[in-house]
Amino acid sequence: MRTVAVIGGGVSGMTAAIAAAEKGARVIILEHKDRIGKKILSTGNGRCNFTNTCQEPIHYHSEDPLFPWEIVGKEGAQAVISFFLALGVYSRNRNGYIYPSSDQASSVLEAFRMELDRLEVEIRTGVHVREIRPKKRGFAIRTDSGDIGADSVILCTGSRAAPSTGSDGSGYDLARQMGHTLIPVLPALVQLRCGDSFFKAIAGVRVNGTVSIWADGECVAKDTGEIQLTDYGISGIPVFQVSRYASKALYQNREVRAELDFMPDFTEEQTKAFLSARAKTRPDKPAEMFLIGLFHKKLSDLWIRLSGIPRDKKAGQLAEEEIGRLVSLIKKFSVCVTATNPFTQAQVCCGGVNTAEVDPDTLESQYVPGLYFAGELLDVDGDCGGYNITWAVLSGHRAGENAAVPARTGAEH
């Protein structure tokens, strides 16, 4: 019987352990926190959105964009739904976003634990792995509490995002020790910090709009949804979706700006015509009240101030050029992005172990036979909406199944 050591007890690690055990391997999970699966408890606002019926390559990101789709494209959402159903987790579809019927991430974690117990997977918590040494046959894993032997090793240690849950980046050092290189690891699915002084005046506003990221004058990403304005910058799902591009551009020392469109369903011409008609409808309304009922008062006050229009000027007296300035602020509200929030507030990271060094068919190292990778440790990150758990499950399952059988040479190593 082969022994498989899974380093990391997150979603990818637990899935890998289940897949390897189902293939008949003896499996040991080594987790440095006091319990497994801590990060899953915070997913989907505690409800665990674990996959999405809309699966397209554009939802997964990597220096090699074809790599994640080699795994996800062959399996899809149904494989994830079926995996959880086998664990006893019945799913609920909310406009393509798949949640457990219980609406509790804790119940998903409990289902994982029960399956690991059924398959007699050994779980060792509080174990810090310091080194993995390939031997003539298998590996010696050095920990704070002594060496552990294994025929195969699966690295599922996660990224550097949300380190309090266990993803502290320690797996990157282990990968480097084994000869692997890293694509720069940066916060993704994270808030963006902006240098403009007016953000304190509009903090707390939530508004539907489009956010575009511009790097050195080039639009590199955009998304639409509810934008949250904070005292330090911008947040919300659409900001999270484009944050990886801002993060990478900042790392490259490019000038990064975010352009906010607060009327994404209107063109600039339509917006100007709409505001002109609005001014004629109530010509005696003062400028400070002109946008009330259309936008949050905090935004209205800011735009009137930035446009230089006197607050008491009558709407019917607004010049075409003044309305044009308001249109520019509403449709192309440009702010300077100075940084992302830190890893502690990121949901995932972009970057990680270079996928060019990993076999996409098995997720085995190209350098060290018997060493496998899964989950966020690899240079793969997904959009919000269940894509990162999808990647964790499908990559974990593939790595686990292959780690449980003899290495690619066809013989024990």
Residue with tokens 């916060």: 187
Residue with tokens 């959880």: 84
CA distances, 84 to each of 18, 38, 245, 387 (Å): 12, 18, 32, 15
| Residue 219 lies inside a defined structural domain of this protein | yes
Q: What predicted TM-score, i.e. pTM, was given to this entire model? A: 0.94
DSSP states along 171-238: HHHHHHHTT--EEEEEEES--EEE--TTHHHHTT-EEEEEEEEEETTEEEEEEEEEEEE-SSEEESHH
Range of the domain at 92: 3-186+351-403
Asked if 69 and 211 sit in the same domain, the reply is: no
Per-residue pLDDT 10s for the chain (413 aa) are 899 999 999 999 999 999 999 999 999 999 999 999 999 998 878 899 999 999 999 999 999 999 999 999 999 999 999 999 999 999 999 999 999 999 999 999 999 999 999 999 999 999 999 999 999 999 999 999 899 999 999 999 999 999 988 888 999 999 999 999 999 999 999 999 999 999 999 999 999 999 999 999 999 999 999 999 999 999 999 999 999 999 999 999 999 999 999 999 999 999 999 999 999 999 999 999 999 999 999 999 999 999 999 999 999 999 999 999 999 999 999 999 999 999 999 999 999 999 999 999 999 999 999 999 999 999 999 999 999 999 999 999 999 999 999 655 433 43
| Residue 410 lies inside a defined structural domain of this protein | no
Contacts of residue 305, defined as CB under 8 A and 6 or more positions apart, other chains included, come to none
Return left, alpha or beta for 368; rule: phi > 0 is left, psi -120 to 50 is alpha, else beta: beta
The last residue of one of the domains, among 340, 368, 391, is 340
Chain centre to alpha carbon of residue 212: 18
| Residue 411 lies inside a defined structural domain of this protein | no
Asked if 221 and 166 sit in the same domain, the reply is: no
| Residue 413 lies inside a defined structural domain of this protein | no
Query: What's 121's domain CATH number?
Result: 3.50.50.60
Asked if 128 and 234 sit in the same domain, the reply is: no
Give residue 45's pLDDT: 83
| Residue 372 lies inside a defined structural domain of this protein | yes
Give residue 413's pLDDT: 38
Asked if 67 and 21 sit in the same domain, the reply is: yes
In this structure, how many other beta carbons lie within 10 angstroms of the beta carbon of residue 402? Answer: 24
Assign 29 to helix, strand or coil: strand
Asked if 198 and 234 sit in the same domain, the reply is: yes
DSSP states along 105-148: HHHHHHHHHHHHHHTT-EEEES--EEEEEE-SSSEEEEETTEEE
Query: Distance (Å, rounded) from C-alpha 312 to C-alpha 295?
Result: 18
Tokens of 196: 């403009």
Contacts of residue 333, defined as CB under 8 A and 6 or more positions apart, other chains included, come to 259, 260, 261, 262
Asked if 32 and 175 sit in the same domain, the reply is: yes
Query: Distance (Å, rounded) from C-alpha 270 to C-alpha 95?
Result: 31
Asked if 93 and 219 sit in the same domain, the reply is: no
| Residue 275 lies inside a defined structural domain of this protein | yes
In this structure, how many other beta carbons lie within 10 angstroms of the beta carbon of residue 332? Answer: 13
Query: Distance (Å, rounded) from C-alpha 17 to C-alpha 400?
Result: 6
| Residue 409 lies inside a defined structural domain of this protein | no
* Tally of domains in the chain: 2
CB 384 within 8 A of CB 404: no
Q: How many residues does the chain have?
A: 413
Give residue 144's pLDDT: 93
Residue 62 DSSP symbol: -
Q: Is 331 exposed, middle or buried (0-12, 13-18, 19+ CB in 10 A)?
A: buried
Query: Distance (Å, rounded) from C-alpha 214 to C-alpha 218?
Result: 5
207: phi then psi, degrees, rounded to nearest 5: -150, 140
Asked if 30 and 156 sit in the same domain, the reply is: yes
Query: Distance (Å, rounded) from C-alpha 123 to C-alpha 127?
Result: 10
Assign 286 to helix, strand or coil: strand
Asked if 173 and 238 sit in the same domain, the reply is: no
Asked if 227 and 328 sit in the same domain, the reply is: yes
Closest CA to 155 of 164, 165, 139: 139
Asked if 295 and 211 sit in the same domain, the reply is: yes
Asked if 238 and 114 sit in the same domain, the reply is: no
Closest CA to 229 of 302, 291, 161: 302
The last residue of one of the domains, among 321, 340, 359, is 340
The last residue of one of the domains, among 340, 362, 383, is 340
| Residue 93 lies inside a defined structural domain of this protein | yes
Give residue 407's pLDDT: 54
